[in-house]
């Protein structure tokens, strides 16, 4: 196995472990990771449209519609008409949604501090820099057409 393949497998396993931990934490609040991140995006961008939320969550509009309806029925968000575009609805957190989002965000931050406490400050800086480079590269790749890149073999 090449080093790059080992790195990929380690990143994938790390993601799975982080995701499982997140699912367990968010589950205590009756949220999925996607529903939590929807609340967080709406909290950070009050008046966000469903289309903008779809872009931020990297999921299709029908999935976002289902997420929004679920959050609305839970009393966490409200939909209000756009001021100038009658076809568009803007998304806002309710008071209950703000409270849940704040509670979960604080619990998530505390949990992440615990999970990442094994990494030294120096290593953390290097890891952050390298993962940022990888993230930028992956974002650029996603913006290419499906056949717009070449798979390299080593």
Q: What is the pLDDT of residues 44-72, one digit of tens each?
A: 999 999 999 999 999 999 999 999 999 99
Q: Tell me the whole-structure pTM to 2 decimals.
A: 0.82
Q: Provide the pLDDT for residue 152.
A: 53
Is 60 exceeded by the pLDDT of residue 149? no
- Within the chain, strands assigned E span 48-49, 77-81, 89-93
23 Cβ neighbours under 8 A, 6+ residues apart: 32, 33
pLDDT of residue 147: 62
The DSSP code for 142 is H
Q: What is the pLDDT of residues 1-44, one digit of tens each?
A: 899 999 999 999 999 999 999 999 999 999 999 999 999 999 99
Number of H helices, E strands in the chain: 6, 3
Collapse the DSSP code of 23 into the 3-class scheme (helix H, G, I; strand E, B; otherwise coil) and give the result.
helix
Query: Rounded CA gap, 97 and 78, in Å?
Result: 9
Per-residue pLDDT band at 153 (split at 50, 70, 90): very low
Query: Per CATH, which fold does 3-121 belong to?
Result: Arc Repressor Mutant, subunit A (1.10.10)
- % of the chain with per-residue pLDDT over 70: 94
- pLDDT at site 122: 80
pLDDT at 142: 84
């Amino acid at each position: 196995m090449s080093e790059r393949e080992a790195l990929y497998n380690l990143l994938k396993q790390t993601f799975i472990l982080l995701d499982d931990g997140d699912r367990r934490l968010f589950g205590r609040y009756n949220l999925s990771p996607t529903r939590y991140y929807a609340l967080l995006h709406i909290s950070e961008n009050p008046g966000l449209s469903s289309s903008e939320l779809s872009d931020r969550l990297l999921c299709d509009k029908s999935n976002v519609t289902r997420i929004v309806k679920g959050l609305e029925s839970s009393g966490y968000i409200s939909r209000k008409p756009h001021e100038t575009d009658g076809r568009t609805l803007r998304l806002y957190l309710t008071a209950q949604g703000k409270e849940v989002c704040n509670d979960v965000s604080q619990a998530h931050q505390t949990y992440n501090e615990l999970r990442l406490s094994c990494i030294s400050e120096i290593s953390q800086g290097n890891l952050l820099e390298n993962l940022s480079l990888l993230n930028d590269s992956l974002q650029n790749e996603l913006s290419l057409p499906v056949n717009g890149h070449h798979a390299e073999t080593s």
